[in-house]
Structure 1
Amino acid sequence: MPKSKRARLVHESRVTKKDHKEQTRRLYSNIRECVEKYDHLYVFSVDNMRNAFLKDVRTEFSDSRIFFGKTKVMGVALGSTPETECAPNLHQLAPFLTGAVGLLFTSREPEAVESFFQNFRPQDFARAGTVATRTFIIPNGLVYSRAGEIPIEEDEPISHTVEPTLRKLGVPTRLVKGQVVLQMADDQEGYRVCTEGEVLDSRQTTLLKMFGVTTAEFRVDLKVRWDRKTGAVTTL
């Protein structure tokens, strides 16, 4: 007789519960330890969060510590007033601990740290709900895989197997002798996928990805720097 697929009783002793209070205490104590260990502390924010790119940052700064947790806990650990701060002038960082921000503790020279983040701007495909950073139009005529993003001699016509998908996404294409062709009205230069400044929907982001158009830029913005040796706070 086959085993029943009905829900079974699971004893609480077998379930591992998350101890949020313990996680908070650990975050608090780790931050306080880092204040005493590292020479510099940065408060940073992230634009177009991508876990893969944040992992690259963690790998690059393997000799440092990065915290991306609850801002309230981070604020309490650092201290929001001169009486509660764990090191001189740390309370001046409190106004920057709002929104999606993190902490970077490092002993690297500030010039090297800030130069890295100024140049670390990997591109990725946009997600639905984000704002288009540029206008993208699929040109009339034979449809190429990059739709004019690269020179035609370096490109190749898009596969005929993709044509039904393009039509489902609203692009008025048709097959001519086995090739995908787009022909809009005479007063139109092509099919406008998106216009700079508009909020993208899932259909538009799918089309942008199909043609390899990356419009989202992962960026870490360093907001402020604190120096342990001098207690100086520098707004960036």
Structure 2
Amino acid sequence: MPRSKRDKDVSLTKVKKKTRETKVGLVQQLREAVDEYPHVFVYEFENMRASKFVQVRQKFKMNSRFFFGKNNVMAIALGKSQNDEYANGLHKISQLLKGQCGLMFTHSDKDEVIEYFRELKDADFARAGIIAPQTIELEEGPLEQFAFSVEPQLRKLGMPTSLVKGVIHLTQKFRVCTEGQVIKPEEAKILKFLEEKLSVFHVNLKAYWSKTTGIKDIA
């Protein structure tokens, strides 16, 4: 009688002893989720914000479970090939676990989940290290939106400023960031002062798997 896929041994020979128990536990949790939930989505983040993702978890807390990070362990749990996959077609999900991504197990309707994430876009302040989506420039002259007390901070960040009768002035035209270039720490702080939100938190669904249809790409 052929051996069930669910009887496959977990191979974690390369992990350290102190983390082995945790990783074996994660494998078990993932396999239990496969058994419990009919649908699995692979998702990836754009401009990850932990506080924003908490809202996503709250939205689906009654009927879903999320796993994030530890791509290799998740792949081991699902199976990296057709020979060791935990359920039919799951090895194809494992192949998509690259970079900043995760798995959503859910009882929710497939179309409802897809529509929710397509509409989920939340603007936020850009962090240092991301690519600027546009160029932001300030013209020479008064910056009346700022209190005079922040002038030393702006000058320290590299802005050519001076106080004129208690009002902060730019002494020359100043480029805060340039489209297509990496935002520097000082630029990120200036953008926050200016309340310019150039970053958009978004969760992109890469693929969908169900016990009845197998894996499907999400356009």
Correspondence for 1:80: 80
Does residue 222 of the first structure (1) align with residue 210 of the second (2)?
A: no
Contact 2:144 2:167 in 1 (8 A): no
Q: How does 1:1-236 map to 2 (within 5 A)?
A: 19-62=18-61, 63-145=63-145, 158-184=146-172, 190-228=173-211, 230-236=212-218
CA distance in 1 between counterparts of 2:196 and 2:161 reads 19
What TM-score results when the alignment is normalised by the length of structure 1? 0.81
Q: CA RMSD in A?
A: 1.5
Percent identity at matched positions? 38
**What is the SS of the residue equivalent to 1:161?**
helix
What TM-score results when the alignment is normalised by the length of structure 2? 0.86
CA distance in 1 between counterparts of 2:198 and 2:58 reads 25
CA distance in 1 between counterparts of 2:203 and 2:50 reads 12
State the AA in 2 paired with 1:162. Answer: V
Structure 1, unmatched stretches of 5+, are 1-17, 146-157, 185-189
State the AA in 2 paired with 1:136. Answer: I
CA distance in 2 between counterparts of 1:144 and 1:27 reads 54
Deviation at 1:159, TM superposition (A): 0.7
Correspondence for 1:150: none
Deviation at 1:19, TM superposition (A): 4.5
Contact 2:151 2:162 in 1 (8 A): yes
CA distance in 2 between counterparts of 1:109 and 1:19 reads 39
Contact 2:74 2:94 in 1 (8 A): no
Structure 2, unmatched stretches of 5+, are 1-16
Q: Which of structures 1 and 2 has the bigger CA Rg? A: 1
Count the aligned residue pairs: 201
* Runs of 4+ off more than 3 Å: none
Deviation at 1:50, TM superposition (A): 1.3
